[in-house]
Every structure is written in structure tokens, then in C-alpha cells.
Amino acid sequence: MDAQQQTGQSGEEITLYEMWRPIIRPRRRVTIERIHQNLAEDWSSTLRDFLARGEQFEFAGLSFENFQQLSDKDSGECQTAAFAIERTEIVGFLLLPDAQARTFVDNRLSIGQFKDEAEPARRGFSRIEGAIVRDAINLMLTRLGAAYASAGLGHLVATRQSERLKDTLAFSLQDYLVVLHFRVGALPNPTTVTIAISSNIINAVRDMAGTDRLAGESPRLRAAASELPMRVDVVLGNWATDAEDLAAIKIGQKIILPDGADAWLEAGGVRLAKIRARFDDPETTIDIRPERNPSTLPHGFSGGQIVLAAVIARLRIATGMIAALTPDDELEVEPEVGFKPMVRFVAGGRTIATASVAIENDSLVATISTLGAGPPGRKDDRWLFRKKAAANLA
């Protein structure tokens, strides 16, 4: 039956239980919301060229709707991309309104700032504009796949794209979906982007806070968990390339690296903290920056693009120390005795090439030294590090 609205004695609106509507425990709901909050941050960074200055994606909440309700809202002027998670029954789609797709195109072509607000909205997309829209959707799906992989849900694959939601064949009209809403642009009239996914995702996610509350409250277990070592990568930056360019990398080639102003600490594909890395051969100083919201990172292969990361250092840090990092902290790291600083180019968790690092003409330059996993004895870097509080520095 359909949900009915009633008003209680306190005047608050009450929504009656709706038959077949999914039930979600608060902890699972928080987990799913956290995944997509982080996704909104990642989209804001990845699609920077498609957004106007100062714009960003914002996660606007989770709801349950059946496919018919979503279809009834569809005017036909939208772009949809269906996807599935391999080896599971989890399927879903990304819904991008044409109005937002048009904004992406205008910003990407740098004509958004010159657009006349009184100009009537254009309908349809040229071949070039359509390619830009597909590029934006592929980037969004890449981030989404990285978010779900980091949450342990599995590998996401895109199955089809279309211009009408009703062309999605994975759901019947009465199937209930978990609907994630995102806002783009300033209030009060932001554009919305939607992810809808089958409700079996609820049972697939791992509780962020763990499954055993009593175990989580055990001081002994907390103390033991805080001592567990975690491999943390210091990532200078990442960028998308294709297989042809990647195959062309050769020994002796020089690559200019990011300057370390927008680096981060990463563990298992999850961004732990934003940092600034300062280089003083052979030592690297890491300043923890205030923006510490964790988020997932793109990785692996998607839509013909390969996401390559520049890893300047690999540390093994106790989880308790990671949790205690604050924006006032600094880490000083240097390679183990006998080794020189180097950078790893990593895609999908695999080292593609290693390179020596030096500062040339005020730029950080990597010179390719080996192709593949790296030189003998450096398959898993061992870096020395020490922590100090910036406030205590003389």
C-alpha cells in the first residue's frame, strides 16, 4: 500500500509504514551515508573542471523510493548510467538531469561564465558536447566504484547509458531502491544528481563502528587494536592516463611531480588526512592540514582510463597514532639507511614504475629508473619516521 500522511497530537507529520519498504538499522544507515558523503567530496575534486568556481557536490540525504516513483519524476530530459557490482546481485544507476549535464558542458568549455542568464536553455547535445557529458559520467562512476571497493562491496562495472530512466531494465516498477541525493550549486535552487541502488546493498555494507558493541567497548581490545600496524602511503597526487601513454614510459624519462601542496596520507584506498609535503633531501616533512575528512580515492582501471598515483613514501604506523594525528602535527620521514628517496607510480595497487627524485629548476622531478615492481630489496619500502608537534618547534 502507499504511504499515508497523518498528523499526530503534537502536530508532527507521521509517515505510516509502507508495505515492502526496506528496513535499515541506524548503524548501517550511518555507514551508507558516510560512504556517499565522502563520494561527494571526491566528485568535487575530480570534476573540478566541470564545476563553476566555488561550486561543489554536497550529499543531501538518503531515502527509499520504488522505481515507479522515480520514473514518474523523470521528464525524459536526463542522462542515466546503469551499473552493477560484480559477483553480487547489487545493481543501480546514476541519474544526471540534462540541466546539470548542460552546466558541466558549459563549464568544461569555459563558456559558463559568459552565459547570458536570459538565454533559453538549449535542448540536446552536439557530438562534442555528448562526449563531454560521457566523460563527466565516467569520472563520476570511477569515483563511485572506488568508494564501493574501499567499503568492501566489490568491483563496479558500468552496464549501459541512456537518455531516459525508463530505459533501465534492471528493476520492476514496485522494486524499492536506496536513493542517494546530491546537490550541486548554491541554494535555494541547486541542481540534483541521484544514485539509486537495489536495497540489498543494506546487508552488504560493513558497519562502520563494528558489529559487536560490547567488543568495541573493551579497553583491552581497543588497546590491542591501537597497536596494529597499518601501511600508509604518502601520495603526492594522481592523474588519469591511458594504456598507450602508460606503455610508453621508459627508463630515463623525466616526469614533473606535484609540488606536495595538495598531497594526502592514504591507507587501503582511503584518504586519511590532507597534508603538505616539504622536501629536503633525503628527508621529507609532512604537515597535517586541517581538512581531515576521510574519503575514497579513484584507483584501477575504468572506461579505458588508468588512474596513476605518485607515492613518495610508504610507512608502517600504528592505528592509534594515525587516529591521534591533528592539524598541528608534523611527521619527518626518511628512507632506511642505504636507500635514496624514490617515487612509485601505482595503479590499482600495483607498482608500474619507480623513479629517483630530485629538485630541478624549483620543480620536483622523477627520473624513471625501473619498470615494474621496483629494485631488489625495495618491494616494500621501509621508511623511518618521527612525529613532533608544530607548536613545540623553536
* pLDDT tens track, the chain, 394 positions: 344 444 545 555 555 455 567 888 888 899 999 999 999 999 998 898 899 888 889 999 999 988 888 877 765 678 999 999 998 989 999 999 998 999 999 988 887 554 555 455 566 789 899 999 999 999 999 999 999 988 889 899 998 888 777 666 668 788 889 999 999 876 666 778 999 999 999 988 875 434 344 444 566 666 766 677 778 888 888 888 887 888 888 899 988 888 888 888 888 777 788 888 887 766 778 788 775 444 444 444 444 567 888 888 888 888 778 777 887 788 888 776 666 778 888 887 788 888 888 888 878 888 988 887 666 555 556 677 777 654 433 3
What whole-number distance in Å separates Cα of residue 94 and Cα of residue 196? 7
Longest CA–CA separation in the chain, Å: 77
| pLDDT for res 193 | 93
Q: How far apart are CA 105 and CA 366, in angstroms?
A: 34
DSSP 86-126: TTSS-EEEEEEEHHHHHHHHHHHTT-GGG--TTSPPP-S--
Query: Does the global pTM surpass 0.75?
Result: no
User: Which amino acid does the sequence have at 302?
Assistant: S
**For the chain, which residues make up each domain, given as ranges?**
13-204, 222-392
Query: For position 3, what pLDDT does the model report?
Result: 43
How far apart (Å, rounded) are the C-alpha atoms in residues 133 and 137?
A: 6
Question: What pLDDT was estimated at residue 231?
Answer: 81
pLDDT score of 36: 95
Cα 377 vs. chain centroid, distance in angstroms? 32
User: What CATH number is given for 13-204 in this structure?
Assistant: 3.40.1550.10
Alpha helix stretches (DSSP H) within the chain: 26-46, 67-73, 98-108, 127-150, 201-204, 213-216, 219-226, 243-247, 319-323
Q: Using the Cα atoms of residue 314, residue 316, residue 319 and residue 320 in order, give the sign of their dihedral.
A: negative
Helix, coil or strand: residue 258: coil
pLDDT at position 47: 92
